Every structure is written in structure tokens, then in C-alpha cells.
Amino acid sequence: MLEPSRSVRACPEMSAMRNTANARKAAIAATVGFAGLAVFQLLLAAGAPFGEAAWGGTTEGQLSTGLRVGSAMSLVVYAVAAALILRRTGFPIRWVSLAVARIGSWVLVALLTLGALANFLSQSPWERFLLGPVTLVLAGLCLVCARSADDAVGPASETTGRLRATH
């Protein structure tokens, strides 16, 4: 049987491990979401006739050249967003510093929340009923990553490691 003092000390460690696991699952789910949006934007950039579902829904059929270039550039944005969230939750994305991942994850939460609001206010039914909810879910996943990732990287993980070493 565990001593009461030992079980009390084990709770923060187990909570930190659970938060880290949840944050990593959220990061993977967000990465899948970013990949899905990137595929959609790639199709738009390649000339697929989904203009009503993007960029405010003002273009029927194929996007104009300028909007297709914008869709192509968004591929880089989604790749960077995925890298930020993965790094924030402890995945080894070496070209993203911990500080950039920490700040970037909160920037993503804000931008995705604003993006969801814009999608919900769009005249396009595709943006209101599909992209709005998807973007809002991505904002929530990024929030989970931004809030709980301190358990995965940085000083908190060193503390957790010291707790494990003393037991």
C-alpha cells in the first residue's frame, strides 16, 4: 500500500504526464486538420472549381490567379502552424525554437478564433457550415496545446523529471 505522502506527491507527476499526453494528442489532431486544410488549398491553387467554398465565396468555379497564389501561399502557413503546435507539445521540430513555439501557439489560438468568426460571418454556406466549425475546433485544439505544453517542454519538464528521480 502507498504511503499517503508518496501518493500525494505522485498526483502532480501523473497529472503532468496526462496533460502532456492530451496535448500531444491534440497536436496530432490539429496537424491532421491543418493537413486537410492544406490539401483543400492545394486543390484550389491547382484550379479545382471550389471557389464558392473559399475566400468569402465570392468566386464561382475556379479562383482567379491572385486567389490561387494566395491558396498556394497558405500551404506554407499551414505547414508552419503544424510545426509550431508539434514543437510546443514536445515533438522534435528542431528548426522551431521553444520560445517561438510558445508564442506562436498562442498567436495561432487568436488567429484561428478570429478566422472561425470570419467564416461564420461569411456569405458562403461552405465557410459558415464547414470551415467555421473546422477552424473553431482547430482553435480549441491549439488552445489545449498552448495551455498544457508547459508540462512537455521547458522548466516544468525538468521539475517532473526530478520528481520521478526521487521516487
Could you tell me the pLDDT band of residue 2, with boundaries at 50, 70 and 90?
Answer: low
Confidence of residue 154 (pLDDT cuts 50, 70, 90): very low
Measured CA distances, 80 to 73, 84, 111, 135 (Å): 11, 6, 14, 16
The answer to whether 84 touches 100, Cβ cutoff 8 Å, is: yes
State how far the Cα of 43 lies from the Cα of 45, in Å rounded to an integer: 5
Please tell me the predicted confidence (pLDDT) of residue 9: 52
Chain centroid, CA 163 distance in Å? 29
Find out whether 26 and 145 touch, Cβ atoms under 8 Å: yes
Write the pLDDT tens digit of every residue in 36-94: 999 999 999 999 999 999 999 889 999 999 999 999 999 999 999 999 999 999 999 99
Top-confidence residue, 53 or 12: 53
For the ranges 7-21, 22-36, 57-71, the lowest mean pLDDT is seen at: 7-21
Whether 148 shows a pLDDT value over 50: the answer reads yes
Written as one letter, the residue type at 158 is E
pLDDT of residue 155: 43
**Averaged pLDDT of the chain:** 86
C-alpha cell at 34: 491543418
C-alpha cell belonging to residue 140? 480549441
Nearest Cα to Cα of residue 34 among 2, 71, 77: 77
The predicted model gives 2-22 an average pLDDT of 64
Residue 152, pLDDT above cutoff 80: no
Residue of 110, 126, 108 whose CA lies nearest to 33: 108
Residue 136 CA, distance from chain mean position: 11
